[in-house]
Amino acid sequence: MKFFVDTADLQEIRDLTATGLLDGVTTNPSLVAKTGRNFLELVAEICKEVDGPVSAEVAATDFETMWAEGCKLAAISPRIAVKVPLTPAGLKVCKGLSANGTMVNVTLCFSAAQAILAAKAGAAFVSPFVGRLDDVGTDGMGLIADICQIYSRYPTFTTQVLVASVRHPMHLVTAAKLGAHVATMPPAVIRLLFGHPLTDLGLARFVADWEKTGQTILP
């Protein structure tokens, strides 16, 4: 399973890249707005920090402008996955860019029917937003189960399920049980994955007991 970080904060990306566990980055207009940075410059810098796909979202909603924006974003780096909304125009852009060899991440997916459309449009990734579904009293992880089941029935569907709007470690664990290909998580959620009180307690005991031996492993 691949781990992407859902942030446009360069320092967070650098820190998490240092763990060796990061496979890519997703951004969106809200995350970019928080940084106050120039979008194109920021995305180019992110691409230099990470080895895997970097999702960069178009700003327009009409086909022509989205297409032009997508081509411009794709020209920044072969690592760019152009992010388009799950609309008829977005899927048309997805089909064209994918046919040209550009990775496309179809975002704002909230139903299995939409995920089927994204796969048919040749998306490299589809992003179902589990947290936002939970927020409105709908089972976000149920949607992931449905999409994984449907995609597994059609070997010609090569779209990867990118679980988005992840709010806590159990979203990630459930996504992994279901066989989702990728989860994109805010930095704070990735950090939570490492923690367990018994790990901290156990380590403190081992350190204390080792000191009692009076030994060192290294000279």
Cα distance between residue 33 and residue 35, in whole Å: 5
- Residue 172 tokens, joined: 């990630």
Question: Using CB under 6 A as the criterion, what x/- string covers residues 137-176 for binding ligand E4P?
Answer: ---------------------------xx-----------
Q: Is 84 in the site for ligand E4P (CB under 6 A)?
A: no
Is 120 part of the annotated catalytic residue set?
no
The conformation of residue 19, written as its DSSP 8-state character, comes to T
Residue from 98, 102, 107, 174 that binds ligand E4P (CB under 6 A)? 107
The helix, strand and coil proportions of the chain, stated in percent and rounded to the nearest 5, come to 50, 20, 30
Question: Using CB under 6 A as the criterion, what x/- string covers residues 9-48 for binding ligand E4P?
Answer: -----------------x-x--------------------
Segment near ligand E4P (CB under 6 A); pick from 92-100, 111-119, 125-133, 187-195: 125-133
Q: Measured from the CB atom, is 174 or 215 closer to ligand E4P?
A: 174
Q: Is 127 in the site for ligand E4P (CB under 6 A)?
A: yes
Q: Is 6 in the site for ligand E4P (CB under 6 A)?
A: yes
- Residue 109 tokens, joined: 């997916």
Cα distance between residue 130 and residue 153, in whole Å: 22
Q: Is 129 in the site for ligand E4P (CB under 6 A)?
A: yes
Contact, 102 vs 131, CB < 8 A?
no
Segment near ligand E4P (CB under 6 A); pick from 12-20, 41-49, 127-135, 193-201: 127-135
Cα distance between residue 115 and residue 111, in whole Å: 6
Backbone dihedral region for residue 60 (phi beyond 0: left; psi -120 to 50: alpha; all else: beta): beta
CA distances from 24 to 16, 83, 191 (A): 10, 14, 16
Residues belonging to the active site = 83
Binding site for ligand E4P (CB under 6 A): 6, 26, 28, 107, 127, 129, 131-132, 164-165, 184
